[in-house]
Structures are given as structure tokens and as C-alpha cells.
Amino acid sequence: MKNFLFLVAFLTFAVLCPLTVSAETPQISAGAMPSLPPDNMNWYDKYEAAIREVHAEEKQAALPSGRIINYGEVKNDKPALMLIHGQMSIWQDYALVLPALSENWHIYAVDVYGHGKSTHDESLYYLDVNGDDLIWFIDHVIGEATVVAGHSNGAITAAYVAAYGGANVIGAVLEDPPVFSTEGENWEKHFSYLDTFKPLHEYDESDKRECWEAWYLRHCYWGQLYIKDLIPLIADDAQKYHDEHPGEPVKIAMLPSDIWYIFQYEMEYDFAYGEHFYDLSWNHGLKHEDILSSIHIPCVYIHAMEVLDHNGINMAAATCRLIETDTNDHIIHTKHSEVYIDAVNSMLR
């Protein structure tokens, strides 16, 4: 149960994971919280070390429209691979798999609009708008045959690029995409809606007397389910850290980095992007079924156990080769890196 608490929180921040939880789940007391390794506060060091190891360069491409796509590039003479991160993330989230992937791939890991250093403009926060600009990026920046791999809603963007990207897009890896759920199928009952997008929307409409991190922790769904008595104290600690370290990501030593690593990334996240998932406008009228059925190139769909509904699995599996992990960890490229790397490398064959 202790590990499950952290798993739930981890999936929450990864977002777009339609988990079902019971309101009768027993509470976890402060005394039951597991001990953590002493380097918990320095979790990001290994990400930075991996980026240095592969000599990844952060660059920017300007479109004719003036929009900016920020990206990290690992240069070599290998085939091209585009990586598209998920919600509330940045290209550096792929850091831990860059060393292994760069053995076979010339990597372009992009920041989607509203994230990182790519353009922040609410008019761009739609599947097709960002997807079309990533197709432009493949044609004009990469300029050669490219495999595209995306995570979570980034996997839906990758599916769009695979379906409509033209001759330069030759393969796709879809890492746990929220197929159909983010079209509205029981959306307001989904864990990600209750725990992430609803609090985010309510925070946007609040007087913002406390930082987002404290607000989130005070209102998070998993906190109310599992540690209702403890969560206000954790939220207070988050606010204290924010006040004492202005301009820095909030860190809370008593919680594992899997829960609050997203606080590192949300420093460069436009909350207006999340509003497009709160009201489901991100799809921009597109249907996931139409996108998936329009993929006619090699495609691998990696599914985290018990995260997506069977309709989404069956639809994607009809178009792509299906790989399932043995846990419901949503960020497969980190939690099941060997599975992920093998799936990407299968595009070489």
C-alpha cells in the first residue's frame, strides 16, 4: 500500500492515466510513510549527467510564422529519431534513455508548445496545430527519414505526425497514449481529471494566495484518498520551501522524487495548456480513431498494464504492434527503459 500511494501520485503527475480508485481506500498515517534515500533531493543530478554524457545540445528552430520549437539534439550519423514528451514535461525528461538511444539514433527531443522554451501561446495548444509544426520540423530541420516517438498525450501527437506527416515519417512508437479518454469518455471520472486538470483549473480561477505546488498538494485527489490528515502539513511545507527559495522548483524531502519531479518541469509550463485538457478542446475536433486508422507505417504501441481502457488498446493494436508492460507505471521510458529502448530500436529492422 505504501508503494501504491507513490505509484498513484506518480501516475497523477504523468497525467492522462484513467485510473479507477476507491473512496474507501484506507488512509496512510505519517508514521507509515516509508524512509527515503538521502539523495532524494538531488534526483535531477543523474538527468543532467546523462545529458552531459551524450553531449546533447539545446537548440531552437524558428518557423516562418515566428513560432519557436525548442529541442535537444544528440548528433551523430545514425537515423533520425524525434521524441515528443507528455503533459507538464520537457525534452530533458528523456535524459536517462539518451545514452542508450544515441547508440543507434540521431536524436531530436522537442519541447511541445506551452512547455519548456518552445513558444507559449494559447492559440497553439491544439493537437493538429502542434502536430503540423512538428511535421514542418521534420521536413525542414531534420530533413530526412524520421521515426517519431511520443509519450502520453505526446504519443497522440506522434500518432498524428505518423498519420499525416508524409514520406519523411517512416515509423512511430506510441508510449501509453490516452486514447479516447481525452476525447471525453468518462473524462470527469478519470483520476487525471480529478487530480490534475480540475485542481489546475480551480487554481487558475483562485486568488493565488499560495503557490501552485502548495495548492495542488492541498487539493490533490490522491492526498484526500490516502493521507487526508497529513496532506495539509505537506502543502504547508511546499509553501514554506517556495517562500524560502523563490524561483526554484519546490522540493519536499519526505516525498519521493517520483511524486514531485514534475515541479521541476512546471517552472516552464503554461497552465493555459492544461485548460485545453480540462475542457477537452486540445483535440480540436479530431477523432483518435481516425488518426490511428490513418497510420500506414510501422508502429509500436506500448501499453502500461491497466492504464488504458480496452477500446483504446484494441483500436491501437489494430494499427500497431502491441507491447504491454507488467506494471501500470505510465512513464515507461523511465520505469521500463529496456522495454522502451527495444521498442524504439525495433524500428531499425
| Within a domain: 23 | no
Question: CA 218, CA 96: separation in Å to the nearest integer?
Answer: 31
* pLDDT, position 312: 53
Those residues whose C-beta lies under 8 Å from the C-beta of residue 99, and which sit 6 or more positions away, are: 50, 53, 54
Residue 109 phi, psi (nearest 5): -105, 115
Chain center to CA of 48:
18
What share of the chain in percent tops pLDDT 90? 66
| Within a domain: 281 | yes
pLDDT tens digits for range 288-339: 999 999 999 999 999 988 644 555 555 565 678 999 999 888 899 999 999 9
| Within a domain: 24 | no
pLDDT tens digits for range 100-111: 999 999 999 999
* pLDDT, position 1: 35
**Is-contact 153 282, C-beta < 8 A?**
yes
Of the given ranges (35-49, 142-156, 191-205), which has the lowest mean pLDDT?
Answer: 35-49
- Domain count for the chain, please give it: 1
Of the given ranges (1-5, 42-46, 183-187), which has the lowest mean pLDDT?
Answer: 1-5
| Within a domain: 231 | yes
pLDDT of residue 34 exceeding 60, the answer is no
Q: Compute how many other C-beta atoms are within 10 angstroms of the C-beta atom of residue 334.
A: 20
| Within a domain: 268 | yes
Question: CA 276, CA 63: separation in Å to the nearest integer?
Answer: 23
| Within a domain: 21 | no
Question: CA 331, CA 337: separation in Å to the nearest integer?
Answer: 9
For residue 38, the 8-state DSSP code is T
Question: CA 349, CA 139: separation in Å to the nearest integer?
Answer: 23
Those residues whose C-beta lies under 8 Å from the C-beta of residue 227, and which sit 6 or more positions away, are: 5, 27, 28, 29, 30, 33, 234
Q: pLDDT band at residue 9, thresholds of 50, 70 and 90?
A: very low
Instruction: Give the type of residue at 288.
Output: H
Instruction: Give the type of residue at 202.
Output: E
Mean predicted confidence (pLDDT) in 6-31:
42
Sign of CA dihedral 203, 91, 87, 146: positive
| Within a domain: 7 | yes
**Is-contact 70 92, C-beta < 8 A?**
no
* pLDDT, position 313: 56
Q: Are strands 68-74 and 106-110 parallel, antiparallel or unpaired?
A: antiparallel
Q: What is the pTM of this model?
A: 0.86
pLDDT of residue 260 exceeding 80, the answer is no
| Within a domain: 339 | yes
Q: pLDDT band at residue 186, thresholds of 50, 70 and 90?
A: confident
**Domain range enclosing 308:** 1-15+32-349
CATH assignment at residue 259: 3.40.50.1820
pLDDT tens digits for range 144-171: 999 999 999 999 999 999 999 999 999 9
Ordered alpha helix ranges (H), the chain = 2-14, 45-53, 98-101, 127-137, 153-164, 191-192, 198-204, 212-219, 221-226, 231-244, 257-260, 262-265, 271-278, 288-293, 310-319, 332-335, 337-345
